[in-house]
Amino acid sequence: MTERAYVGVGSNIRPERHVPRALAMLRAEFGEVQASSIYECPPLGFEGEAFHNLVVSFETGVGVDELVATLREIEDACGRQRGPQAPPSRTLDLDLLLFGEIRSTGAGIELPRDDVLSYAFVLAPLAEIAPTVMHPVVRRTFAELWSEFEPTHEMRRIAGR
């Protein structure tokens, strides 16, 4: 059985290099990948370069744990640093946002991820590529949620649709 996964992609260290590389690696691993436009927004909670953010979607037959492990491998291949000494800026950040209708808060994986309802740089691209898909908890479409969202930070589309 396959599930549709939605993954947030972000980078503020050489995003012009790391975002295309991540997309290529995701396509090599999962086949057809649907990607939103790329949005630029300032970092939240720290000083640094602007982030390039987008959401991608693909079908997969792997489970949540295996998918998250693959996303971590792709981040690592793009030079992602982890741990308490890691800088807040990132070469690549891949966050599993949704995995079918699955709702989970165990084993360090929260689904759907709270970021979906909290950040414009997640909800806008999600509404762009999946406008009629329902959020599995609030049971409203992403287009509806985005139309009522009040962003707390600036964001601009820089590439795509």
Element (H, E) at 35: strand 34-35
Give the DSSP per-residue string, 48-70.
-SPEEEEEEEEEESS-HHHHHHH
**Cα 144–114–105 angle (5° rounding)?**
125
Positions marked active-site: 80, 90, 93, 95
**Rg, Å, the chain Cα set:** 15
Q: Which helix or strand (DSSP H or E) is residue 95 part of?
A: strand 93-99
Q: Is residue 67 within 8 Å of residue 57, measured between CB atoms? A: no
Nearest CA among 12, 20, 6 for reference residue 90:
12
φ, ψ of residue 104 to 5 degrees: the values are -155, 145
